[in-house]
Amino acid sequence: MSNSTEKILIIGAGGQIGLELAFELGKIYGNANIVASDIKENTALSSYIFETLDALNKDQLFAIVKKHKITQVYHLAALLSATGEQNPMFAWKLNMESLFHVLDLAKEKHIQKIYWPSSIAVFGPTTPRLNTPQFTVMEPSTIYGISKQAGERWCEWYFHKYNVDVRSIRYPGLIGWKSAPGGGTTDYAVHIFYEALKNKSYTCFLSETTALPMMHMEDAIRATLELMHSPNEKIKIRGSYNLSGLSFNPKQIAEEIKKHIPDFKINYQPDFRQAIADSWPQSINDLEAREHWGWKEYYDLPKLVANMLSHIKI
Ligand code: SER
């Protein structure tokens, strides 16, 4: 569809979500209508127009939007929960200022639509941990979570004040085989597959009973596109939508992997990421996403594990 009237800029296109989203957006809008940007070049993005972009550089961002007549921005650049704790002031700066730059572009009518991801990290130790509802106590304890929660409030404010069409999902941990995660607390659930295939053993940085909300990347990308393609009036939440896929702990995923690789062994050496995981929900209630725009997940744990093991090439 290279005659699409939409021109899409992906910020942070080289990241775990960006690489997969670029591919799917390319299928819908035509690769010639996708402008992939990242702080550094990435050979995996060679099928699209590529621009080097520091998401903190407003002038550079504006120049790219004008040059390519961008209509929509998927803003994915961020420091995640684990790296954010190592570099808190930079995490705050990057996650917040880059969001303002994109929201302002829409406020000034240079672009029409924004996608910006939030996270289960917006919840904290005082949040009910099981079947966590959309609207509940939110006292995040990581800088990443604080930045995402503040970002949600800003998105909603720009929507009400300036009618900015911004849409968002609170992603759980994302698990896919096409791209690698970086800097998150849920990353173990991707690393485990590579180690299982390579070494038949994995040392997990979370304890065996640490259950977290997770989702196959295919489901997450489909949810993102379904949300972005829903009619405006269906989007009743302009902060960010809870989204649930599945929920498991390291022991449960290891047991499922053992069904395919019987001599797989897992050990546990929790580190600083354990405290982050302990502050997050174990499962998510996403009633609103289901009711408002028809969300339904596909992957359960057996399907996810079989899919990952069959695609990863070591
Ligand atoms: N996967 C993210 C993290 O672990 C959560 O949004 O930081």
230 and 88 in one domain? yes
Q: Is the CB of 279 under 6 A from ligand 1?
A: no
Tens of pLDDT along the chain (314 residues) come to 556 899 999 999 999 999 999 999 999 999 999 999 999 999 999 999 999 999 999 999 999 999 999 999 999 999 999 999 999 999 999 999 999 999 999 999 999 999 999 999 999 999 999 999 999 999 999 999 999 999 999 999 999 999 999 999 999 999 999 999 999 999 999 999 999 999 999 999 999 999 999 999 999 999 999 999 999 999 999 999 999 999 999 999 999 999 999 999 999 999 999 999 999 999 999 999 999 999 999 999 999 999 999 999 98
261 and 128 in one domain? no
46 and 27 in one domain? yes
Asked whether residue 288 is assigned to any structural domain, the reply reads: no
149 and 259 in one domain? no
Q: Please give the pLDDT value at position 2.
A: 55
Ligand 1 atom with the shortest distance to the CA of 170: 6
Q: Please give the pLDDT value at position 86.
A: 96
Q: Please give the pLDDT value at position 314.
A: 86
CATH value at residue 262:
3.90.25
Asked whether residue 128 is assigned to any structural domain, the reply reads: yes
Asked whether residue 225 is assigned to any structural domain, the reply reads: yes
134 and 194 in one domain? no
250 and 110 in one domain? no
Asked whether residue 291 is assigned to any structural domain, the reply reads: no
205 and 110 in one domain? no
Mutate to test the pocket of ligand 1, among 76, 119, 147, 247 (most ligand atoms within 8 A of CB): 119
Mutate to test the pocket of ligand 1, among 120, 179, 216 (most ligand atoms within 8 A of CB): 120
CATH value at residue 90:
3.40.50.720
The answer to whether residues 155 and 293 touch, using CB atoms and an 8 Å cutoff, is no
Count of the separate structural domains present in the chain: 2
Asked whether residue 80 is assigned to any structural domain, the reply reads: yes
Mutate to test the pocket of ligand 1, among 122, 185, 217, 280 (most ligand atoms within 8 A of CB): 185
206 and 98 in one domain? no
29 is catalytic: no
Asked whether residue 289 is assigned to any structural domain, the reply reads: no
Task: Considering only CA atoms, give the Rg of the chain.
Answer: 19
Q: How remote is the C-alpha of 84 from its chain's centroid?
A: 15
208 and 197 in one domain? yes
Provide the residue range defining the domain that includes 184: 177-214+246-283+299-311
Residues 6+ apart with CB under 8 A from 88: 143
Among candidate residues 59, 3, 60, 66, the one with its CA nearest the CA of residue 37: 60
pTM: 0.97
Q: Please give the pLDDT value at position 4.
A: 81
Long-range Cβ pairs for the range 90-96 (8 Å, 24+) = 91/143, 91/144, 91/147, 92/143, 92/146, 92/147, 93/56, 94/55, 94/56, 95/144, 95/147, 95/148, 95/151, 96/147, 96/150, 96/151
Catalytic residue among 144, 158, 188, 241: 144
154 and 65 in one domain? yes
Q: How far is the CA of 5 from the centre of ligand 1 (A)?
A: 33
Ligand 1 atom with the shortest distance to the CA of 80: 7
Q: How far is the CA of 10 from the centre of ligand 1 (A)?
A: 19
Look at strands 246-248 and 212-216 and give their pairing: antiparallel
SS3 145: helix
Q: Return the amino acid letter for 28.
A: I
Q: Please give the pLDDT value at position 148.
A: 98
Ligand 1 atom with the shortest distance to the CA of 81: 7
Asked whether residue 293 is assigned to any structural domain, the reply reads: no
The answer to whether residues 45 and 179 touch, using CB atoms and an 8 Å cutoff, is no
Ligand 1 atom with the shortest distance to the CA of 280: 5
